[in-house]
């Protein structure tokens, strides 16, 4: 049995919002633990989009998911957090008014406050119809290393942003790139679609994957495509099925928090309906919510600082500017 852990704040979810929340907690002098079901930091961004260029982070015209996670991790580590990776937050109970979270591995964390930053919740890629069993043999749902596409024939399946992003990223390094979509219209951003159409990527609409074929080594070497002109076989050693994913709150749904659809309802303090439980990032819902990483950063700071005043009612909500900690000129809150 794991020894119980006691901290001021438990952050459930190690994605961008969770990592920034960890930094904010450390900035306020709170002890903090970070729990995530994945084996490494970064959440969905780290697992699904490590090589994708992210364009909506303030001050960074473009940054890959991997680089963003590396920077956020370095910042979060200044809080000296307890990292509880590979643990799914399973149950929530209260002991003398204090939240106690137990993981699926039996680890118990007694936290003065809990902050849920679980992104989209538990996520599962939508499978490529009729092509189960090829994972690890050339079929993948996310590209974790673009170098794996170098000098390969790549087939990307899908019509959304991820499919077009992967096709565009592969175009500069793969031997050939084919994008197959079952419809003749796309869900991806128009600008990205135009870039792909202007590139060497072969775009096949009203086309579906009929079968994958492996070589003697057991790895995929070609794919059969059914399209308007019948069935044809193309070379493909790598198949990226970017068909989206299904997501749900998983065990969090049993905690009893008020929900808004598949999201956690919060107020302007980022407080949930449960005492001492806050939430931030894509997992939350409130009127006017915009689901951007940049918004999640602000929500994380709001949640941590409001949680701090719950832990110590005599403390200030505003933690001060970070520049004030380094001997620079002090400004009053709200000064320009």
DSSP single-letter state for residue 326: G
Residue 234 within a domain: yes
Looking at the chain, the whole-number percentage of residues with pLDDT higher than 70 is 92
Residue 176 within a domain: yes
Number of neighbours of residue 4 by Cβ within 10 angstroms: 11
Give the CATH number for residue 164.
3.50.50.60
Separation of alpha carbons 306 and 316, rounded Å: 9
Q: Are residues 253 and 230 part of one domain?
A: no
Q: What is the pLDDT of residue 189?
A: 85
Return the H-helix or E-strand segment holding 176: strand 176-180
Separation of alpha carbons 197 and 220, rounded Å: 26
Residue 14 within a domain: yes
> 176-217 pLDDT, tens per residue?
999 999 999 999 889 889 999 999 999 999 999 999 999 999
Q: Does the pLDDT of residue 246 top 80, yes or no?
A: no
Are 16 and 119 in contact, with CB atoms under 8 Å apart?
A: no
Q: What is the pLDDT of residue 121?
A: 58
- What are the C-alpha distances in Å from 322 to residues 28, 314, 326, 327? 10, 21, 8, 10
Q: Does the pLDDT of residue 19 top 60, yes or no?
A: yes
Closest of 290, 263, 266 to residue 278, by C-alpha: 266
Q: Are residues 231 and 160 part of one domain?
A: yes
Mean per-residue pLDDT, 272-288: 96
> Can you give the pTM of this predicted structure?
0.74
Q: 315 — phi, psi (to 5°)?
A: -85, 160
Residue 335 within a domain: no
Mean per-residue pLDDT, 31-59: 85
Q: Are residues 165 and 67 part of one domain?
A: no
Residue 332 within a domain: no
Q: Show which of 209, 241, 273 is a domain's final residue.
A: 241
Q: Are residues 259 and 116 part of one domain?
A: yes
Q: Are residues 117 and 10 part of one domain?
A: yes
- Write out the binding residues: 36, 44, 49, 89, 123, 282, 323
DSSP single-letter state for residue 60: B
- Name, in order, each residue with C-beta under 8 angstroms of 74's C-beta and a sequence gap of 6 or more: none
Q: What is the pLDDT of residue 331?
A: 40
Q: What is the pLDDT of residue 167?
A: 94
- Domain of 47 in residue numbering reads as 5-123+245-326
Band (pLDDT 50/70/90 cuts) for residue 122 is: low
Q: What is the pLDDT of residue 325?
A: 61
- Name, in order, each residue with C-beta under 8 angstroms of 330's C-beta and a sequence gap of 6 or more: 321, 324
Q: Are residues 86 and 140 part of one domain?
A: no
Q: Are residues 290 and 196 part of one domain?
A: no
Q: What is the pLDDT of residue 55?
A: 86
Q: Are residues 225 and 144 part of one domain?
A: yes
Residue 295 within a domain: yes
Q: Are residues 117 and 252 part of one domain?
A: yes
Q: Are residues 262 and 232 part of one domain?
A: no
The total domain count for the chain is: 2
> 99-120 pLDDT, tens per residue?
999 999 999 999 999 999 987 6
- Write out the binding residues for FAD: 36, 44, 49, 89, 123, 282, 323
Mean per-residue pLDDT, 128-133: 89
Greatest mean pLDDT range, 54-68, 109-123, 209-223: 209-223
């Amino acid at each position: 049995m794991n020894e119980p852990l006691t901290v001021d704040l438990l952050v459930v979810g190690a994605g961008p919002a969770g990592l920034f929340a960890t930094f904010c907690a450390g900035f306020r002098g709170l002890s903090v633990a970070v729990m995530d079901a994945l084996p490494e930091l970064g959440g969905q961004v780290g697992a699904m989009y490590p090589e994708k260029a992210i364009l909506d982070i303030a001050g960074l015209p473009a940054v890959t998911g991997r680089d963003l996670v590396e920077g956020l991790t370095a910042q979060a580590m200044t809080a000296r957090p307890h990292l509880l990776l590979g643990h799914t937050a399973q149950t929530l109970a209260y002991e003398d008014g204090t939240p106690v979270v137990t993981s699926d591995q039996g680890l118990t964390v007694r936290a003065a406050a809990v902050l849920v930053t679980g992104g989209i919740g538990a996520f599962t890629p939508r499978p490529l119809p009729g092509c189960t069993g090829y994972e690890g043999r050339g079929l993948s749902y996310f590209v974790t290393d673009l170098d794996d596409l170098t000098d390969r024939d790549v087939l990307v399946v899908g019509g959304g942003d991820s499919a077009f992003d992967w096709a565009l990223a592969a175009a500069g390094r793969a031997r050939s790139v084919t994008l197959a979509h079952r419809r003749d219209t796309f869900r991806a951003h128009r600008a990205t679609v135009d870039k792909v159409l202007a590139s060497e990527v072969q775009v096949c609409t009203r086309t579906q994957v009929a079968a994958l074929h492996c070589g003697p080594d057991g790895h995929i070497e070609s794919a059969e495509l059914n399209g308007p002109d019948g069935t044809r076989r193309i070379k493909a050693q790598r198949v990226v099925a970017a068909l989206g994913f299904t997501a749900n709150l998983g065990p969090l749904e049993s905690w009893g928090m008020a929900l808004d659809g598949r999201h956690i309802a919060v107020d302007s303090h980022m407080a949930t309906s449960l005492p001492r439980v806050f939430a931030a990032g894509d997992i939350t819902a409130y009127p006017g919510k915009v689901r951007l990483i940049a918004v999640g950063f602000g929500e994380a700071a709001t949640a941590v600082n409001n949680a701090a005043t719950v832990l110590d009612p005599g403390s200030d909500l505003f933690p001060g500017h970070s520049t004030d900690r380094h001997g620079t000129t002090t400004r009053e809150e709200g000064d320009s």
